[in-house]
C-alpha cells in the first residue's frame, strides 16, 4: 500500500511536469492562449473576457494579438472563433505590421460614373485602423465620397470632403443608419484645384481626422470599429452607398488602408510627399480635354473587360507599380454575358475609360462566369465586341478566372469546376486561329490569398498584380 502511494505520487509528478512542458510548447501557437494544444472557442472566450476585464492576462500577449495590430480586443476573439470554424485560413501573431493592408491608386474619377470597388471584406478584421490618401478635388460636391465602405445605407464607414450640413469634411461610421453615426467633423472647407492629404485614424475609442498632416477634428467616443460592419461588400472609392449622392470628381493617389492607428508623426510623414506625377492639368471652361492614345505598351494603353475578378487583378497590378493596364473601374458582376452585346452598359462603362485615355492598343479579355456558365459562342461574341471598342489592330489577350488550390470552391462561379472551365474556354479561343487572340496562361491564388472563396484579399491582389506584370509588363 505504501509502495503504491509512492508510485502514484511519482506518476502524478511526472504528469505535472509533462503538462508544464507541453504547456510551454503549446504556448508558442498563435491563438492558443490556454495552452491546450488546440485553438478553439475557449481561446476566443478567454480573449473576449480579458478585453472586458473579466480575466487577468495570464497568457503571452503576443499569441493573443492574432491580427498583429498591437492590441488585444474583441477583433482578436472574433478572429480566433472564425479560425476555429474555418472562415479564416490562418492567424497572424507577431509585431505590429508597419505596412498598409491595402494600397492603390492613382485613380482619376469623373464625377458622373467613375468609382473603384475594393475587395469584399476589406474591413472585416479591422479594429484600430487608418485610411489615408491624397485628393485633388476638381469640384466640391456635398455628400460626394472619397471612400464609403459598407453593405447598405444602414451599415457603412465613409469620408466626404463636403458634408451637406456644414460644407466641411466629415467622417462617419454606423451600423444603424444616419441616427447611429459616430462622426468626426472637420473645421474648414477643403479647397479645389490642389492636392490635399487626408487621414482618418482610430486608436482605442479615439478617432482623429487629419488634413495635410494637421489634426482637423476628433471624437473621443468612437466605440464602433470597422469589424462591427460585418462582411462589407460595397467598398467604394468615389461612390456613396446612397444612390442619390454625387460621385466624386477628383484624382486620388496613394490610397492606403492600415490595420492599426497611425501616430501623428506617421501621418505627418505621409502628408509630406505630395504627388507630382499625375497632377491634372486645368481644363478651360466650356472645353473638354481630348486624350491622346499612348503608344503600344505605354501608360493606360491597355484596357480590360471582365468581372470583379478582373478588378482584383487590375487593382493589384496598379499596387505593384503597373502602368500599362487600366486600374479597376467598377466592373463587379460583369460576367461574359455582360460583354457579348457591343452596346451593353458594360461597354459604355469601358468607353468612358477610353474617353480619358484613348482607345487602348491592347485589351485583356477575362472569361468570367456565374453558376450558369458560358458557351464558347458567347466568348467569341465577347471577343468580337471587344474589337469594336479598341484601336485598330489592337492586341487581344485572353484568360479565365483565377484558379485555386484543390478544396477551395468558388460558388459564385458554379463550384469546383467553374474557374477551370473558364480557363478551358480561354485556351480554346487562343487555339482558334479565326479569333486571333493570345492566351496568356492562368492566374492562380493560394488559400491564404482568398477572402470569400472567390475574390482575392489584399495579399491576393498583389499576387495577381505581380502575375499580370509577368504576363504583360509594367
Per-residue pLDDT tens digits of the chain, which is 474 residues long? 334 444 444 444 433 333 333 333 333 478 888 888 788 889 888 888 888 877 666 666 667 877 666 668 778 888 888 888 877 666 766 544 567 888 887 888 888 888 998 888 888 888 889 999 999 999 999 999 999 999 899 999 999 999 998 999 999 999 999 999 999 999 999 998 889 999 999 988 899 999 999 999 999 999 999 999 998 989 999 999 998 899 999 999 889 999 888 888 889 989 987 776 444 433 333 333 333 333 345 788 999 999 999 999 998 898 888 889 998 888 888 999 999 999 999 999 999 888 888 899 999 999 999 999 999 999 999 999 999 999 999 999 999 999 998 888 888 888 889 999 999 999 999 999 999 999 999 999 998 898 888 899 888 899 999 999 889 988
- Domain spanning 26-96: CATH 3.30.365.10: no
- Which helix (DSSP H) or strand (DSSP E) does residue 117 occupy? strand 116-118
**Residue 323: HSE in the Cβ half-sphere, 13 Å Cα cutoff:** 9
- Helices 376-387 & 418-431 angle (0-180, nearest 10): 60
Q: Which pLDDT score is estimated for 13?
A: 43
Start-end of CATH 3.40.50.1110 domains in the chain: 302-472
Q: Which pLDDT score is estimated for 458?
A: 85
CB 158 within 8 A of CB 241: yes
Burial of 262 (0-12, 13-18, 19+ CB in 10 A): buried
Query: 102-270 maps to which CATH number?
Result: 2.60.120.200
CB 130 within 8 A of CB 261: yes
**Cα Rg of the chain (Å, integer):** 25
Q: Which pLDDT score is estimated for 381?
A: 97
Start-end of CATH 2.60.120.200 domains in the chain: 102-270
Q: Which pLDDT score is estimated for 427?
A: 96
Start-end of CATH 1.10.1330.10 domains in the chain: 26-96
CB atoms within 10 A of CB 389: 20
β-strand 129-137 against 395-399: which pairing, if any?
unpaired
Q: Which pLDDT score is estimated for 69?
A: 60
Separation CA 129–CA 126 (nearest Å): 6
Separation CA 41–CA 48 (nearest Å): 10
| Helix spans in 161-233 (H) | none
CA-CA distances (angstroms) from residue 127 to 31, 90, 130?
17, 18, 10
Q: Return left, alpha or beta for 453; rule: phi > 0 is left, psi -120 to 50 is alpha, else beta.
A: left
Reading the block at residue 391, the C-alpha cell is 484601336
Read out DSSP for 319-349?
HTT--SB----S-TT--GGGSSSTTSHHHHH
Q: Which pLDDT score is estimated for 435?
A: 96
Q: Which residues contact 255 (CB under 8 A, 6 or more apart)?
A: 102, 103, 104, 105, 107, 131, 132, 133, 147, 237
Quick check: helix, strand or coil at residue 192? coil
CATH class for the region spanning 302-472: alpha beta
Task: Provide the sign of the torsion angle of the four alpha carbons 128, 102, 339, 413, taken in this order.
Answer: negative
Quick check: helix, strand or coil at residue 472? helix
Amino acid at each position: 500500500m505504501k509502495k503504491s502511494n509512492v508510485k502514484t505520487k511519482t506518476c502524478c509528478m511526472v504528469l505535472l511536469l509533462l503538462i508544464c512542458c507541453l504547456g510551454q510548447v503549446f504556448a508558442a501557437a498563435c491563438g492558443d492562449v490556454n495552452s491546450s494544444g488546440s485553438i478553439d472557442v475557449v481561446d476566443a472566450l478567454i480573449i473576449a473576457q480579458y478585453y472586458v476585464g473579466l480575466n487577468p492576462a495570464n497568457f503571452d500577449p503576443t499569441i493573443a494579438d492574432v491580427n498583429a495590430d498591437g492590441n488585444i480586443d474583441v477583433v482578436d476573439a472574433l478572429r480566433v472563433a472564425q479560425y476555429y470554424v474555418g472562415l479564416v485560413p490562418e492567424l497572424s501573431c507577431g509585431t505590429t505590421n508597419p505596412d498598409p493592408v491595402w494600397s492603390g491608386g492613382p485613380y482619376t474619377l469623373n464625377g458622373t460614373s467613375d468609382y473603384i470597388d475594393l475587395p469584399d471584406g476589406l474591413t472585416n478584421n479591422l479594429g484600430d485602423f487608418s485610411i489615408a490618401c491624397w485628393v485633388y478635388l476638381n469640384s466640391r460636391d456635398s455628400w460626394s465620397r472619397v471612400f464609403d465602405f459598407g453593405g447598405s445605407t444602414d451599415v457603412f464607414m465613409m469620408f466626404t470632403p463636403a458634408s451637406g450640413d456644414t460644407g466641411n469634411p466629415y467622417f462617419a461610421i454606423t451600423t444603424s443608419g444616419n441616427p447611429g453615426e459616430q462622426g468626426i467633423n472637420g473645421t474648414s472647407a477643403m479647397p479645389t484645384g490642389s492636392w490635399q492629404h487626408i487621414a482618418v485614424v482610430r486608436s482605442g475609442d479615439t478617432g482623429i481626422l487629419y488634413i495635410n498632416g494637421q489634426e482637423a477634428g476628433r471624437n473621443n467616443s468612437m466605440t464602433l470599429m470597422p469589424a462591427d460592419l460585418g462582411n462589407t461588400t460595397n467598398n467604394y472609392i468615389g461612390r456613396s452607398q446612397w444612390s442619390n449622392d454625387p460621385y466624386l470628381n477628383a484624382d486620388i493617389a496613394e490610397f492606403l488602408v492600415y490595420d492599426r492607428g497611425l501616430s501623428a508623426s506617421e501621418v505627418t510623414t505621409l502628408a509630406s510627399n505630395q504627388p507630382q506625377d499625375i497632377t491634372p492639368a486645368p481644363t478651360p471652361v466650356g472645353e473638354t480635354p481630348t486624350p491622346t492614345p499612348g503608344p503600344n505598351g505605354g501608360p493606360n494603353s491597355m484596357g480590360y473587360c471582365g468581372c470583379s475578378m478582373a478588378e482584383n487583378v487590375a487593382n493589384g497590378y496598379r499596387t505593384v507599380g503597373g502602368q500599362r493596364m487600366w486600374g479597376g473601374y467598377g466592373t463587379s458582376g460583369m460576367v461574359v454575358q455582360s460583354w457579348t452585346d457591343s452596346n451593353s452598359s458594360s461597354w459604355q462603362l469601358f468607353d468612358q475609360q477610353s474617353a480619358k485615355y484613348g482607345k487602348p492598343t491592347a485589351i485583356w479579355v477575362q472569361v468570367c462566369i456565374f453558376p450558369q456558365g458560358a458557351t464558347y459562342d458567347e466568348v467569341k461574341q465577347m471577343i468580337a465586341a471587344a474589337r469594336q471598342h479598341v484601336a485598330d489592330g489592337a492586341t487581344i489577350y485572353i484568360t479565365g478566372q483565377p484558379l485555386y488550390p484543390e478544396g477551395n470552391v468558388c460558388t459564385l462561379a458554379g463550384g469546383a469546376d467553374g474557374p477551370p472551365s473558364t480557363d478551358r474556354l480561354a485556351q480554346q479561343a487562343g487555339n482558334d486561329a479565326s479569333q486571333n487572340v493570345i492566351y496568356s496562361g492562368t492566374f492562380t491564388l493560394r488559400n491564404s490569398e482568398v477572402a470569400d472563396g472567390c475574390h482575392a484579399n489584399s495579399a491576393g491582389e498583389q499576387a495577381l498584380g505581380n502575375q499580370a506584370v509577368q504576363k504583360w509588363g509594367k
